[in-house]
């Protein structure tokens, strides 16, 4: 009986974990996965509907399944000096996630307060809208302000040519337009704690997913006023905030000394990374770290000048730094090796 009950829970967890990506064929997928009939799967789905973990829409032939929102909450706050992120967390957000494991609540506490604080201190907006959606599988929180826009503000403050350059600077970590009040680490660590982390602002969309090695920067046709930050996390993840901090820290003081730079963010559209100016843009600001890992996921090729600037010139200028490459294909690896061999001759 215990084994039967355990198998039933496994089947229902599988349904919940896959229903968002397979709203129309999750029954067939489950039947194939567990070797049971569609009728048996239907009984499990019906139980999930009764438990309000899932909802069903449409007729028999056009039936679709979705996760049932256990929490749907939305509130608008005025962005004044009186608004405090920790007060909003304690009074409004924490009660909505109080039943989640301690490690999950810790991640939410860090990410939410960091992102709301950014809106309060940096957006120059009048109001911020916060939304919470919680299902049996995960929780998503969205923070939207009507300010200048994060990428536009960074572009202006750092005199960058393009809003997309601002995304690359954010991805490196330690970027702040207000060094007296902020370390610039909040977005970097928050983006790496959550399963999905997205920023929409202006015509630019930045995305980081925990299980993917690549960061994405995309241009949108629709202009997004202000800034939208969305964060999603599995309700039962084993991840901890300490694990993420430790991964990018070293020494007894746990200083933020390591960064992983997604090289792909330095190229736009179909352009290739061939010039020294592109390379200089890539390495700007990374001398704040002891260890820099250049992640070449999604980069098909680089030019000789680009490789030389990063792996010979910059490395020679900063001998105290450990500079590494990651996820290189054969062509990229050969170009890097060529630049490194010149530096040793």
Percent of the chain at pLDDT above 70? 88
Model confidence at 174: pLDDT above 70: no
Q: Do domains 71-241 and 248-343 have the same CATH topology?
A: no
- Which H/E stretch holds residue 164? helix 163-172
Report whether pLDDT(72) > 90: yes
Mean per-residue pLDDT, 26-47: 86
Tens of pLDDT, residue by residue over 73-96, are 999 999 988 999 999 999 999 999
Q: Specify the residue for token string 């490789």.
A: 307
Kindly compute the dihedral angle of the four CA atoms of residues 128, 142, 75, 126, in this order, to the nearest 10 degrees: 10
Confidence of residue 217 (pLDDT cuts 50, 70, 90): low
- For the ranges 172-181, 280-289, 303-312, which has the lowest average pLDDT? 172-181
**Buried b / exposed e across 193-212, counting CB within 10 Å, b at 16+?**
bbbbbbbbbbbbbbbbbbee
pLDDT given for residue 344 in this prediction:
55
Identify the pLDDT of residue 41.
Answer: 85
Asked if the model's pLDDT at residue 300 lies above 80, the reply is: yes
Would you say residue 266 has pLDDT above 80?
yes
Average pLDDT, the chain: 85
CATH numeric code, 71-241: 3.30.565.10
Report which of residues 146 and 247 the model is more confident about. Answer: 146
In angstroms, what CA-CA distances link 270 with 124, 278, 294? 34, 14, 20
Residue carrying the six token digits 């215990």:
2
Count Cβ atoms below 10 Å from residue 54 Cβ, excluding itself.
Answer: 23
Helix axes of 2-18 and 26-34: crossing angle, nearest 10 degrees: 140
Q: Where are the domains of the chain?
A: 2-67, 71-241, 248-343
pTM of the model: 0.76
Going by C-beta distance under 8 Å and a sequence separation of 6 or more, which residues neighbour residue 315?
321, 323, 340, 343
According to the per-residue pLDDT averaged within each range, which of 152-156, 246-250, 317-321 is highest? Answer: 317-321
* Statement: residue 128 has pLDDT above 80: yes
Q: Is 26 helix (H, G, I), strand (E, B) or coil?
A: helix
Contact, 145 vs 133, CB < 8 A?
no
What's the pLDDT at 56?
77
Q: How confident is the model at residue 158 (pLDDT cuts 50, 70, 90)?
A: confident
Confidence bin at 215 (pLDDT 50/70/90): low
- Residue 158: count other Cβ atoms within 10 Å of its Cβ: 14
Q: Report the CATH number of the 248-343 domain.
A: 3.30.750
Q: Which CATH class is domain 2-67?
A: mainly alpha
């Amino acid at each position: 009986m215990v084994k039967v009950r355990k198998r039933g829970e496994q089947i229902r967890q599988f349904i919940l974990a896959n229903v968002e990506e397979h709203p129309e064929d999750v029954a067939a997928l489950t039947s194939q996965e567990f070797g049971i009939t569609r009728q048996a799967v239907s009984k499990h789905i019906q139980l999930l509907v009764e438990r309000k973990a899932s909802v069903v829409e449409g007729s028999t032939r056009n039936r679709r399944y979705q996760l049932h929102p256990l929490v749907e909450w939305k509130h608008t706050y005025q962005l004044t000096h009186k608004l405090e992120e920790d007060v909003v967390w304690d009074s409004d957000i924490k009660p909505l996630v109080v039943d989640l494991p301690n490690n999950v609540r810790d991640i939410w506490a860090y990410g939410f307060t960091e992102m709301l604080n950014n809106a309060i201190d940096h957006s120059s907006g009048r109001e911020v809208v916060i939304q919470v959606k919680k299902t049996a599988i995960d929780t998503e929180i969205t923070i939207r302000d009507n300010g200048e826009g994060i990428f536009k503000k960074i572009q202006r403050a750092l005199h960058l040519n393009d809003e997309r350059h601002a995304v690359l600077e954010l991805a490196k970590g330690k970027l702040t337009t207000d060094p007296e009040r902020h370390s610039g680490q909040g977005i970097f660590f928050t983006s790496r704690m959550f399963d999905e982390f997205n920023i929409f602002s202006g015509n630019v969309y930045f995305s980081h997913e925990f299980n993917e090695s690549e960061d994405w920067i995309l241009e949108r046709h629709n202009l997004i006023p202000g800034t939208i930050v969305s964060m999603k996390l599995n309700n039962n993840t084993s991840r901890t905030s300490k694990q993420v901090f430790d991964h990018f820290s070293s020494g007894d003081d746990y200083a933020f000394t390591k960064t992983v730079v997604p090289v792909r963010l330095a190229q736009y559209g179909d352009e290739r990374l061939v010039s020294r100016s592109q390379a200089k843009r890539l390495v700007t600001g990374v001398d704040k770290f002891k260890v820099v890992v250049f992640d070449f996921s999604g980069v098909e090729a680089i030019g000789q000048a680009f490789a030389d600037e990063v792996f010979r010139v910059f490395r020679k200028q900063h001998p105290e730094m450990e500079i590494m490459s990651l996820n290189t294909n054969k062509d990229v690896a050969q170009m890097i090796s060529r630049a490194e061999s010149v530096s040793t001759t």
